[in-house]
Chains A and B, each alone.
Chain A
């Protein structure tokens, strides 16, 4: 139990004393995971819309693939990205392995199926009559899609949050493709793993607590923005 209290105290000490290394790690975690989430939204929302409204032969197959992708363990995504980025691999010439960019790529791959799957479910739950009505009123396809998206904004945002939550807290891929290099690719989760393996459990937990606070802050901002003006 002592470790838990030590960890809470340590977390607040690191945050309040403005420990440079800790803040640098927090900044890097946020930057990498927000970028990955944003990319996953840009790529995943159209896929979600296509799966919700599109009528094409392989739709069910793609949907099943996306739903399976939601459960892929981060370490598997990390391994695949690592092998692709190896110097001897197909993308080795880019020299991206052990850089934040490699971590963004891996985390985007992890978040993408979550965003696509959840947004397709969100859009699919909007009353189909709405689109019919919009089109009857003379609205174009894009215009009516926009209205449907507005109607589903809550679950769509939840899709984004789920993506962010998944990537900011994963450690397997971050460790594999990032290498946990101090000052370059060390993020909150990999720092926690390192401290735990050193036996510094209170410090490891402190990083975990900071991670929770961070996820909470991001979700709070998104929720407030999203709920504003909602009755």
Chain B
């Protein structure tokens, strides 16, 4: 009887040894690079599109840094920067970004790229929004009480959607207006299943194969531009901030090689680029180009 308990104890000890033996590789690639890891706080849309899987390894190779990419909503990403829990922020929530800069919590804010939002919905288009302007479309959806799925998660896309309702003079509420509380891909899938309208960035819409019953109904308006900015975080935000690493990433992502990678991303798979590189341009210049 006792030896079985001893067996269990031995098994436990073995598990601990195994764990201890394997536990040494905590920081993955840091063995190669001695520089402090950079924490990049960014939005789920850049991660879901797969763009970061291309950009981050390229930066790690070029700069000799290890990057810890934490993909959260724009709101949380900017909050992490403000608290000094991230070294660099890549976001698409202009109002919140400007607030961060105004509070002196960002070293620099630079334009990286843009894609655009599209309003998608069922092909039958019950609210007849096809080809209308974004604000007219929102008004018509509300008037028809056609089902609309909102992200409802304080993300950049959600903030943008709320701004569109505000511009349309509509306070969305009622059973036709539903919040998914989930990421873009999952929200598109829900809209697809419910024959509902939703607002999506073009990249995620193109990348979400499971939402192909939804059609792009409103697009190409300057007011639908979705501009991404990179903000590097100053040392003043916290004594453990890796300000040099954050600046290195921000400098790199607006450099020609990175911008070229952004331009080429997605062309092979979707037949069109998902993002347009914009380094050095102002928001006004980007809007004029549409």
Residues of A within 8 A of B (CB): 31, 34-35, 37-39, 41-42, 86-88, 92-93, 95, 97-101, 104, 146-147, 149-151, 153, 156-157, 179-184, 194, 196-201, 222, 225-226, 228-229
Q: How far is the CA of A86 from the CA of B80 in the complex (A)?
A: 10
Q: How far is the CA of A140 from the CA of B12 in the complex (A)?
A: 24
Contact string, B203-238, partner A, CB cutoff 8 A, digits 1/0? 010011111000000000000000000000000001
Pair A201/B189 contact, Cβ less than 8 Å: yes
Question: Could you tell me the distance in whole angstroms from the C-beta of B277 to the nearest C-beta in chain A?
Answer: 23
Cβ–Cβ < 8 Å partners of B189 in chain A: 199, 201
The answer to whether A199 and B12 touch (CB under 8 A), given A34-B18, A99-B27, A194-B47, is no
Question: Could you tell me the distance in whole angstroms from the C-beta of B19 to the nearest C-beta in chain A?
Answer: 3
Pair A34/B1 contact, Cβ less than 8 Å: no
Q: How far is the CA of A39 from the CA of B20 in the complex (A)?
A: 11
Told that A153-B8, A197-B48 touch, could you supply 20 new A-B pairs with CB distance under 8 A?
A31-B18, A34-B15, A34-B18, A35-B23, A38-B19, A87-B84, A87-B238, A87-B241, A88-B83, A100-B26, A101-B23, A184-B28, A197-B185, A198-B183, A198-B185, A199-B186, A199-B204, A199-B210, A200-B209, A201-B210
Pair B19/A35 contact, Cβ less than 8 Å: yes
Pair B12/A197 contact, Cβ less than 8 Å: no
Give the total of B residues in contact with A, Cβ under 8 Å: 48
The answer to whether the Cβ of B108 comes within 8 Å of any Cβ in the partner chain is no
Pair B53/A182 contact, Cβ less than 8 Å: yes
Closest to B17 in A: A38
Pair A146/B2 contact, Cβ less than 8 Å: yes
Contact among A39, A179, A194, A228 for B68, CB-based, below 8 A: A179
Residues of B within 8 A of A (CB): 1-2, 4-5, 7-8, 11-12, 15-16, 18-20, 22-23, 26-29, 39, 44, 47-48, 53, 68-71, 83-85, 182-186, 188-189, 204, 207-211, 238-241
Pair A157/B84 contact, Cβ less than 8 Å: no
Pair B69/A179 contact, Cβ less than 8 Å: yes
Q: How far is the CA of A197 from the CA of B84 in the complex (A)?
A: 27
- Of the candidates A37, A86, A228, the one having the most CB atoms from chain B within 10 angstroms of its own CB is A86
Closest to B189 in A: A199
Cβ–Cβ < 8 Å partners of A87 in chain B: 84-85, 238-241
Pair B186/A150 contact, Cβ less than 8 Å: no
Cβ–Cβ < 8 Å partners of B188 in chain A: 199
Cβ–Cβ < 8 Å partners of A194 in chain B: 47-48
The answer to whether A31 and B183 touch (CB under 8 A), given A92-B240, A150-B2, A197-B48, is no
Q: How far is the CA of A87 from the CA of B84 in the complex (A)?
A: 8
Cβ–Cβ < 8 Å partners of A97 in chain B: 85
